[in-house]
């Protein structure tokens, strides 16, 4: 069963600049991978796939602390796909 949760209408159609497969990684590793990618990319969309249940709260919390925006979250059978907008566009 696929459950789609639209956090924002914009940006989710664009292709992400970076995709991170964080499946099999446990807290705090998925967020560290996200932070590393964000530090390199500076601005743009990052897609991250994780199966750690803790990521469901950790990714939104990281976005809040880093002024990034979780623009899309999609639950798949065994994992969740997060699309995160970082950089200046995220602040609006």
Partner 1 sequence: MSASATGSPTDPAVAAVNSPNLDRYLDAASGLPMTPATQQALNAAWGLGWADASRRYPSARQSRRLLDSARNSVAEYLGITSAGIFFLPDFAAAFELAISGYSDRHIAVNAVEDAAILQAIELRHDSTSSKLSVSGDGHIDVGAAAHVAHREPTAFVVQDVNLEIGCRQPLKSLAQHLDAESAVIVDARATLGRDRVSDDWDLLISDPKMWGGPPGSALLAIRAPERFPAARTSVGGFGGLEPASPPVPLIAAAALALEAATPQAGSAQAISTFLRSEIIDQIQDCEIVGHPESSFITMFSFLYVAADELIDELAQLGWSCASGASCTSDTQRPHHVLTEVGASSHGSLRVSVPPQLTENQAAHFVSDLTRVVAKLRLEAGAPNP
Least distance CB 87 / partner 1 (angstroms): 15
Residues that bind partner 1 (CB under 8 A): 26-29, 31-32, 35-36, 38-39, 52-54, 56-58, 60-62, 65
Nearest to 71 by CA among 42, 87, 2: 87
Say which residues have a Cβ less than 8 Å from residue 55's Cβ, sequence separation at least 6: 22, 27, 30, 31, 80, 82
Tell me whether residue 27 is one of the annotated catalytic residues.
yes
Least distance CB 13 / partner 1 (angstroms): 26
Residues designated as active site: 27
């Amino acid at each position: 069963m696929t459950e789609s949760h639209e956090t924002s209408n914009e940006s989710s159609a664009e292709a992400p600049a970076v995709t991170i497969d964080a499946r099999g990684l446990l807290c705090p590793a998925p967020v560290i991978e996200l932070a590393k990618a964000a530090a390199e990319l500076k601005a743009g969309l990052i897609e991250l796939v994780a199966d750690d249940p803790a990521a469901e709260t950790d990714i939104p919390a990281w976005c809040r602390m880093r002024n990034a925006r979780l623009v899309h979250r999609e639950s798949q059978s065994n994992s969740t796909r997060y699309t995160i907008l970082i950089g200046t566009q995220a602040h609006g």
